[in-house]
């Protein structure tokens, strides 16, 4: 009888889980597959004791109430006394010590503000599974980790696990406008419903906070870096305050983007000069008011003197003078000023690659302690692949954070499956050779090589109002993986892919192998069919979606022709000493290796070298032929991703299957579009015969040039 009951219950759970529309993300708790683990969980959920009371523990309680019935079929039991009925102890070290003097058994003082310890603790002959943090949020992180281990089948009741994040500010940057459009957003509109705030609380806000906390994200900037000063008015502060209140129990701090000209636009002043006393007073007053609403306000994120945004240069002041003025207003409240190094101005007649270093290296040592410079992973702009940004390693006394783009602006937007973790891993592991011979980007960003105390990793969000949050189901993997890397920038993409796949699709080992393979091949595939061998910025210049290697004109002529420099003789951007000399901005070890076309990794070849179409590659083939083969390989890989996915038909949830399957069909077509358009164009310039191994493209160049990409709200650039 009992057996039938269990079977019936399991059936109900599986039906409940049937139509997966993606809303639950990786927190889609399901019946625990392993029966031993299920009974362990069952027992643990039957007696949960909190050593304290606070909003974070309430959030944990709610999470357990949600998870336990889905995982074991039973509601969790919260005990009011800590011994008899209790199986799990949850609390901070201090709370545990007060009551039981346990601090010697569990020493977590080295785990910092957000770390946690989890494992069995024996007390008076009975074992309690214990999750301890230095602060309640550590306990929350531990609980999420524990739930994930149950969900992915890796939980071990007897194992002790200690974790602490390597980066302090683990942050999402929303490029969300106040009218709810999202710059470079492809998953609907902004989830911030400014119109109905502060009165109406969309349940999504809470689910958003849960999802972020479950992967360690602890900071969010709510608004577009192309900022609107209205966000700093009292009305909007009240709205932002509601979000901050919702996020606080989940350990998430709110930041806002500050428009440098706000003193003029909302302050009625004639200037925004950072050294003007009235301007200084405006920002101080604004900031004080902000902290009255949001006592733990994180700080401001600023894009200044870039792509037409206002900044200190209008007043002949430096980035440091601008940043420090805002930082001084934040400092008494413990706030942080994040200043972006993405500075593009068409007034300068220099290789765009060089601008950030030219402007920021001379300011090294001039920024206040609570300023951090947020640097994109590469010097151009979130291209499918970029060598690491030369600012990493070039400054000694400036806090540097890294900015990645989770939204796939240049990587197929929301139609393509591109797992970005391998790209981020490549950047984080890049050797900078400065400040020490073994330094890496990760080591600079986490402070271990640079010694900086304030650390930051930011990711431009890919989240919108789409039911599944990210448009493409696999966009969720990028959000997940960004969060995991902010916690530990040394994690491997393979491990992250494995975790996410288990949480999203379950533990079937065959499915796991296939899905992981698709994910781990996807970035290289996209690079191949879009911009192989160091090519970059050859997309349609306004939408940034499909190919546009023929595009010229526009701002400062920073369009495709400027970047690929293809002519009848050759292709590539010479950034060596015979060209723009951008390579000079890296460490001598890199300059030496990369200025030699034979030594530079081929993946960066045309980023730094202009070479003859007939240049001999490592394979012995000509450059022109290799370009062709790479494009073709990209298409082949996309097709393989699709055919591998097709073998999952019937093996995974049908809704998930069909969603991805349809998008992969589009991805294959788009890969062909990129390959054909780029190769036909480059052939028209190089006048070389089409490599015989490559599929001959359908249609001619004029046909590809005539294709138009429909623009949707939110994807139009600002300028
Ligand atoms: C570029 C985007 C543009 C952003 C800019 C930025 O095309 O929409 O405003 O970056 O990072 O990638 O500020």
Q: How far does residue 55's CA lie from ligand 1's centre (Å)?
A: 37
Q: How far does residue 483's CA lie from ligand 1's centre (Å)?
A: 21
For 445-474, the pLDDT digits (tens) are: 999 999 999 999 999 999 999 999 999 999
Q: Using CA atoms, how far apart are residues 674 and 676, in angstroms rounded to an integer? A: 6
What pLDDT, on a 0 to 100 scale, did the predictor assign at position 19? 67
Phi, psi of 616 (to 5 degrees): -85, 125
Which residue ranges have their beta carbon within 6 Å of ligand 1? 183-184, 225-226, 303, 342, 381-382, 409, 717-718
How confident is the model over 146-154, as a mean pLDDT? 97
Query: Of the residues 181, 224, 226, which should be mutated to test ligand 1's pocket, given the most ligand atoms within 8 Å of the CB?
Result: 226
What pLDDT, on a 0 to 100 scale, did the predictor assign at position 2? 53
Spell 140-177 as b/e; 16+ CB within 10 A means b: bbbbbbbbbbbbbeebeeeeeebbbbbbbbbbbbbbbb
Q: How far does residue 320's CA lie from ligand 1's centre (Å)?
A: 22
Domains of the chain plus CATH, in order, are 31-163 (3.30.379.10), 169-180+201-459+481-491 (3.20.20.80), 527-573+610-714 (3.90.1330.10)
Hey, whose CA ends up nearest to atom 12 of ligand 1? 381
For 176-202, the pLDDT digits (tens) are: 999 999 999 999 999 999 999 999 999
Hey, whose CA ends up nearest to atom 11 of ligand 1? 342
Cis omega (within 30 of 0) on the bond before 276? no
For 12-49, the pLDDT digits (tens) are: 444 444 568 999 999 999 999 999 999 999 999 999 99
Instruction: Calculate the CA 179 to chain-centre distance.
Output: 23
* More confidently predicted of 350 and 576: 576
What pLDDT, on a 0 to 100 scale, did the predictor assign at position 345? 78
Q: How far does residue 629's CA lie from ligand 1's centre (Å)?
A: 31
Q: How far does residue 364's CA lie from ligand 1's centre (Å)?
A: 25
Hey, whose CA ends up nearest to atom 8 of ligand 1? 717
Count of helices and strands (H, E) across the chain? 22, 15
Q: How far does residue 408's CA lie from ligand 1's centre (Å)?
A: 12
In the chain, % of residues over pLDDT 90: 88
Phi, psi of 11 (to 5 degrees): -65, -45
Query: Could you give the residue numbers annotated as active site?
Result: 307, 381, 409
Closest atom of ligand 1 relative to the 306 alpha carbon: 13
How confident is the model over 91-95, as a mean pLDDT? 93
Position 106 confidence tier, pLDDT thresholds 50, 70, 90? confident
Q: Using CA atoms, how far apart are residues 717 and 719, in angstroms rounded to an integer? A: 6
| 571: helix, strand or coil | strand
Hey, whose CA ends up nearest to atom 1 of ligand 1? 381
What pLDDT, on a 0 to 100 scale, did the predictor assign at position 292? 98
Q: Using CA atoms, how far apart are residues 621 and 613, in angstroms rounded to an integer? A: 11
Closest atom of ligand 1 relative to the 718 alpha carbon: 8
How confident is the model over 492-504, as a mean pLDDT? 98
What pLDDT, on a 0 to 100 scale, did the predictor assign at position 597? 98
What pLDDT, on a 0 to 100 scale, did the predictor assign at position 12? 47
Structure tokens belonging to residue 577: 């000493």
Hey, whose CA ends up nearest to atom 7 of ligand 1? 717
How confident is the model over 335-341, as a mean pLDDT? 98
Query: Of the residues 174, 181, 184, 308, which should be mutated to test ligand 1's pocket, given the most ligand atoms within 8 Å of the CB?
Result: 184
Q: How far does residue 65's CA lie from ligand 1's centre (Å)?
A: 41
Average pLDDT in the chain = 94
DSSP of 367-435: S-TTEEEEEESSSSSS-SS-PPPTTTTT-SSS-EEEEEE-S-TTTTTTTS----HHHHHHHHT-B---S
Q: Are 511 and 651 in contact (CB under 8 A)?
A: yes
What pLDDT, on a 0 to 100 scale, did the predictor assign at position 543? 83
For 534-571, the pLDDT digits (tens) are: 999 999 877 898 999 998 876 667 889 999 999 999 99
Pick from 53, 31, 28, 52: nearest CA to 42 = 31
What pLDDT, on a 0 to 100 scale, did the predictor assign at position 665? 95
Q: How far does residue 225's CA lie from ligand 1's centre (Å)?
A: 8
Q: Map tokens 């070479």 to a residue.
A: 611
pTM of this structure:
0.96
Q: Is pLDDT above 90 for 11?
A: no
Query: Of the residues 310, 376, 458, 717, which should be mutated to test ligand 1's pocket, given the most ligand atoms within 8 Å of the CB?
Result: 717
How confident is the model over 61-79, as a mean pLDDT? 98
Structure tokens belonging to residue 174: 């929303």
Closest atom of ligand 1 relative to the 403 alpha carbon: 11
What pLDDT, on a 0 to 100 scale, did the predictor assign at position 10? 47
Query: Of the residues 183, 404, 714, which should be mutated to test ligand 1's pocket, given the most ligand atoms within 8 Å of the CB?
Result: 183
How confident is the model over 600-625, as a mean pLDDT? 98
Per DSSP, which regions of 520-583 are E strands?
570-571
Query: Of the residues 173, 174, 223, 225, which should be mutated to test ligand 1's pocket, given the most ligand atoms within 8 Å of the CB?
Result: 225
- Count how many residues are written for the chain: 719
Spell 492-527 as b/e; 16+ CB within 10 A means b: ebeebbbbbbbbbbbbbeebbebbbebbbbbbbbbb
Position 88 confidence tier, pLDDT thresholds 50, 70, 90? very high
Spell 583-622 as b/e; 16+ CB within 10 A means b: bebbbeebbeebbebeebebbbbbbbbbbebebebeeebb
Closest atom of ligand 1 relative to the 224 alpha carbon: 9
Q: Using CA atoms, how far apart are residues 295 and 333, in angstroms rounded to an integer? A: 8
Q: Using CA atoms, how far apart are residues 340 and 595, in angstroms rounded to an integer? A: 29
Closest atom of ligand 1 relative to the 183 alpha carbon: 8
For β-strands 336-340 and 116-123, DSSP reports them as unpaired
Q: How far does residue 634's CA lie from ligand 1's centre (Å)?
A: 26
In the chain, % of residues over pLDDT 70: 95
Q: Is pLDDT above 90 for 405?
A: yes
Closest atom of ligand 1 relative to the 226 alpha carbon: 9
Closest atom of ligand 1 relative to the 309 alpha carbon: 13
Phi, psi of 594 (to 5 degrees): -85, -15
Position 216 confidence tier, pLDDT thresholds 50, 70, 90? very high
Position 698 confidence tier, pLDDT thresholds 50, 70, 90? confident
Hey, whose CA ends up nearest to atom 9 of ligand 1? 226
């Amino acid at each position: 009888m009992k057996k039938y009951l269990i079977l019936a219950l399991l059936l109900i759970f599986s039906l409940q889980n049937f139509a997966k529309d993606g809303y639950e993300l990786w927190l889609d708790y399901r019946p625990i597959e392993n029966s031993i683990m299920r009974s362990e969980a069952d027992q643990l959920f039957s007696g949960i004791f909190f050593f304290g009371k606070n909003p974070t523990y309430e959030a944990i309680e709610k999470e357990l109430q949600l998870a336990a019935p889905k995982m074991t079929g039973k509601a969790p039991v919260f005990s009011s006394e800590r011994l008899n009925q209790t199986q799990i102890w949850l609390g901070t070290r201090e709370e545990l010590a007060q009551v039981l003097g346990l601090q010697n058994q569990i020493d977590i003082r080295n785990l910092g503000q957000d770390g946690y310890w989890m494992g069995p603790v024996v007390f008076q002959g009975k074992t309690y599974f214990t999750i301890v943090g230095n602060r309640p949020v550590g306990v929350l992180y531990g609980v999420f980790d524990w739930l994930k281990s149950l969900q992915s089948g890796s939980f071990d009741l007897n194992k002790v696990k200690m974790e602490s994040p390597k980066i302090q500010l683990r942050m999402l940057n929303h490029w969300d406008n106040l009218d709810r459009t999202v710059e470079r957003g492809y998953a609907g509109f902004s989830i911030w419903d400014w119109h109905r705030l502060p009165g109406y609380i969309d349940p999504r806000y809470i689910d958003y906070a849960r999802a972020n906390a479950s992967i360690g994200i602890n900071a969010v900037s709510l608004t577009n870096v192309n900022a609107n000063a209205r966000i700093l008015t009292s009305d909007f502060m009240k709205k932002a305050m509601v979000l901050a209140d919702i996020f606080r129990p989940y350990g998430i701090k709110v930041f806002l983007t500050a428009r440098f000209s706000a003193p003029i636009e909302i302050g009625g002043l004639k200037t925004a000069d950072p050294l003007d006393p009235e301007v200084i007073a405006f920002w101080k007053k604004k900031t004080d008011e902000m902290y009255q609403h949001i006592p733990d306000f994180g700080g401001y994120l600023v894009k200044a003197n870039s792509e037409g945004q206002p900044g200190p240069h209008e007043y002949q002041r430096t980035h440091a003078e601008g940043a420090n003025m805002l930082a001084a207003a934040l400092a008494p409240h413990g706030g942080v000023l994040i200043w972006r190094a993405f500075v593009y101005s068409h007034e300068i007649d220099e290789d765009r690659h060089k601008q950030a270093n030219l402007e920021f290296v001379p300011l090294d040592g001039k920024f206040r302690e609570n300023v951090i410079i947020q640097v994109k992973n590469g010097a151009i702009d979130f291209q499918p692949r970029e060598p690491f940004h030369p600012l990493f390693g070039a400054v000694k006394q400036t806090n540097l954070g890294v900015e990645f783009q989770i939204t796939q602006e240049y990587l197929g937007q929301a139609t393509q499956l591109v797992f970005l973790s391998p790209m981020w891993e490549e950047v984080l592991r890049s050797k900078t050779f400065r400040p020490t011979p073994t330094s890496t980007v990760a080591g600079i960003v986490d402070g271990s090589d640079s010694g900086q105390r304030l650390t930051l990793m930011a990711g431009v969000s890919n989240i919108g109002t789409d039911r599944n949050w990210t448009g493409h189901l696999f966009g969720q993997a990028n959000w997940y993986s960004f969060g995991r890397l902010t916690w530990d920038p040394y994690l491997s993409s393979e491990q992250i892919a494995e975790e996410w796949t288990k949480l999203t699709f379950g533990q079937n080992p065959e499915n796991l192998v296939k899905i992981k393979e698709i994910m781990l091949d996807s970035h290289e595939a996209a690079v191949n069919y879009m911009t192989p061998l160091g090519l970059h910025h050859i997309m349609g210049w306004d939408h940034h979606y499909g190919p546009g290697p023929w595009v010229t004109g526009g701002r400062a002529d920073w369009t495709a022709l400027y970047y690929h420099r293809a002519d009848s003789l050759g292709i590539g951007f010479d950034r060596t000493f015979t060209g723009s000399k951008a390579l000079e901005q890296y460490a001598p070890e890199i300059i030496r290796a990369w200025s030699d076309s034979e030594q530079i990794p081929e993946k960066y070849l045309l980023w730094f070298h202009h070479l003859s179409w007939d240049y001999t590659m490592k394979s012995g083939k000509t450059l022109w032929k290799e370009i062709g083969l790479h494009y073709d390989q990209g298409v082949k890989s996309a097709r393989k991703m699709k055919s591998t996915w097709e073998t999952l038909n019937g093996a995974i949830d049908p809704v998930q299957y069909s969603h991805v399957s349809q998008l992969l069909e589009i991805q294959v077509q788009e890969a062909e579009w990129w390959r054909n358009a780029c190769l036909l164009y480059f052939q028209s310039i190089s006048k070389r015969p089409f490599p015989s191994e490559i599929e001959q493209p359908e249609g001619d160049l004029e046909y590809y040039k005539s294709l138009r990409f429909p623009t949707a709200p939110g994807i139009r650039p600002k300028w």
